[in-house]
């Protein structure tokens, strides 16, 4: 499995994702600077990491979404290369139009940095195949702008097409309001494109994929990718 | 040379928690009768273009491409000399 990680000025999770990809897939990703014109050839996966690209100037992800590398990212995504955007990566994918909706300031205006529980809503994808449908997993979040919003038609479409990947839930797997850390519509924590080859999510699965880091609930995502993309 | 000003605000119906917090703070300070507060952005551009119509078109392009996220925001452009 051949992967790449795009690095923007202000990215700060690129090493976390590179560590986890290397550990689980057995090969290190190419680290690609955002000003490069093209990604390496024959990629299976492109990861857009978390952080604060361009200091969140104007809107989170707005500047990065117009970086030179993005036109090649869009081209690869259209060709079917899998794309995983985590946290700021998710914001960048919505800003550049690869995923619908937007991420607004958290409902309570506070930066939220803690583990949350998620329900796995869709296992038919290269990212989630190794999870069980409805499984409740624990994954950390760290964001200020994670409040997912889309118009009603888009939300309905996401639900009808099985494009909600994860929802914030309580320990019983219920998407309750008190389990929603940021005010996201319908407790949505991650969404797919129509082909389910592009996933954007606010929580960080790459940060909890090693027992030494306190848990492995993120591991199945990378095992799914390895299994499906090798 | 034209000057353009752009106001970017959240669309009606999109919750503005910062606006709400400002409203609460104003009320705590004793200001009453505030029905709602919406926070937005104000952007000033000095343009080499002298033709106001052309400047307007150019700034519309900037808003669509970068200055506003039209999924959640609307914008208002004013061009002056």
pLDDT in tens, A62-83: 999 999 999 999 999 999 999 9
Nearest to B7 by CA among B73, B61, B54: B73
- Interface confidence (ipTM) of the complex: 0.87
| pLDDT value, residue B34 | 97
CA B43 to chain A, closest CA, distance in angstroms equals 10
Taking the domains of chain B in order of start, what are their residue ranges?
A: 2-80
Would you call A218 exposed, middle or buried from its count of C-beta atoms within 10 A (0-12, 13-18, 19+)? buried
A101 → chain B, closest CA residue: B71
Average pLDDT over residues A204-217: 96
| pLDDT value, residue B55 | 97
| pLDDT value, residue B81 | 87
Going from the N-terminus, what domains does chain A have, and what CATH number goes with each? 3-229 (3.40.50.880)
The tens digit of pLDDT for each residue in A124-134 reads 999 999 999 99
> Is B42 at the interface with chain A, CB within 8 A?
no
* pLDDT at position B1 over 90: no
| pLDDT value, residue A181 | 98
The tens digit of pLDDT for each residue in A148-194 reads 999 999 999 999 999 999 999 999 999 999 999 999 999 999 999 99
The tens digit of pLDDT for each residue in A4-51 reads 999 999 999 999 999 999 999 999 999 999 999 999 999 999 999 999
CA distance B62 to B4: 11
Which of B65, B67, B71 has the CB atom closest to A102's CB atom?
Answer: B71
Of all helices (H) and strands (E), which one includes residue A4? strand A3-7
Q: Which CATH number fits domain B2-80: 3.30.1490.20, 3.30.1280.10, 1.10.340.30, 3.30.450.20?
A: 3.30.1280.10
Residue contact B17–A62, C-beta within 8 A:
no
> Is A149 at the interface with chain B, CB within 8 A?
yes
In chain A, residues with a C-beta closer than 8 Å to the C-beta of B66 are 58, 62-63, 66
CA distance A2 to A125: 18
**Preferred mutation among A54, A56, A58 to probe B, highest tally of B CBs within 10 A:** A58
What's CA B39's distance to the chain center, in Å? 9
Half-sphere exposure of A134 (CA within 13 A, CB side): 3
The residues in A 176-205 lying below 8 A from B, measured between CB atoms, are: 183
Would you call A114 exposed, middle or buried from its count of C-beta atoms within 10 A (0-12, 13-18, 19+)? exposed
Nearest to A199 by CA among A173, A181, A227, A225: A225
* DSSP β-bridge partners for residue A7: A33
The tens digit of pLDDT for each residue in B49-74 reads 999 999 999 999 999 999 999 999 99
**Preferred mutation among B20, B39, B69 to probe A, highest tally of A CBs within 10 A:** B69
Alpha-carbon dihedral A183, A184, A187, A190, rounded to 10 degrees:
-140
CA A97 to chain B, closest CA, distance in angstroms equals 10
Which of B14, B21, B41 has the CB atom closest to A149's CB atom?
Answer: B14
Residue contact A62–B18, C-beta within 8 A:
no
Average pLDDT over residues B27-54: 96
B72 → chain A, closest CA residue: A102
């Amino acid at each position: 499995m051949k992967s790449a990680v795009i690095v923007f000025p202000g990215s700060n999770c690129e090493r976390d994702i590179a560590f986890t990809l290397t550990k689980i897939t057995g090969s290190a990703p190419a680290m690609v600077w955002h000003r490069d014109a093209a990604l390496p050839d024959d990629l299976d996966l492109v990861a857009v990491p978390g952080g604060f690209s361009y200091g969140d100037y104007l809107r989170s992800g707005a500047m990065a979404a117009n970086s030179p590398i993005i036109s090649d990212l869009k081209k690869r995504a259209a060709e079917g290369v899998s794309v995983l955007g985590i946290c700021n990566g998710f914001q960048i994918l919505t800003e550049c139009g690869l995923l619908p909706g937007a991420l607004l300031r958290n409902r309570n205006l506070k930066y939220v940095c803690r583990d949350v529980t998620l329900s796995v809503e869709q296992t038919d994808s290269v990212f989630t195949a190794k999870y069980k449908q409805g499984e409740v997993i624990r994954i950390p979040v760290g964001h200020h702008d994670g409040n997912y919003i889309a118009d009603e038609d888009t939300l309905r479409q996401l639900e009808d097409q099985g494009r909600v990947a994860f929802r914030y839930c309580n320990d019983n797997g219920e998407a309750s309001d008190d389990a929603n850390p940021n005010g996201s519509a319908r407790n949505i924590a991650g969404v797919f494109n129509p082909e389910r080859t592009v996933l954007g999510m606010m929580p960080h699965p790459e940060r909890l994929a090693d027992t030494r880091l306190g848990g492995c609930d993120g591991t199945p995502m990378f095992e799914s990718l390895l299994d499906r993309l090798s | 040379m034209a000057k353009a000003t752009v106001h970017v605000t959240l669309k009606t119906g999109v919750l503005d928690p910062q606006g709400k917090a400002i409203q609460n703070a104003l009320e705590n300070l004793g200001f009453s009768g505030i029905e709602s507060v919406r926070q937005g952005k104000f952007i000033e551009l000095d343009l080499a273009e002298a033709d106001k119509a052309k400047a307007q078109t150019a700034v519309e392009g900037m808003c669509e491409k970068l200055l506003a996220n039209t999924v959640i925001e609307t914008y208002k452009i004013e061009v002056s000399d």
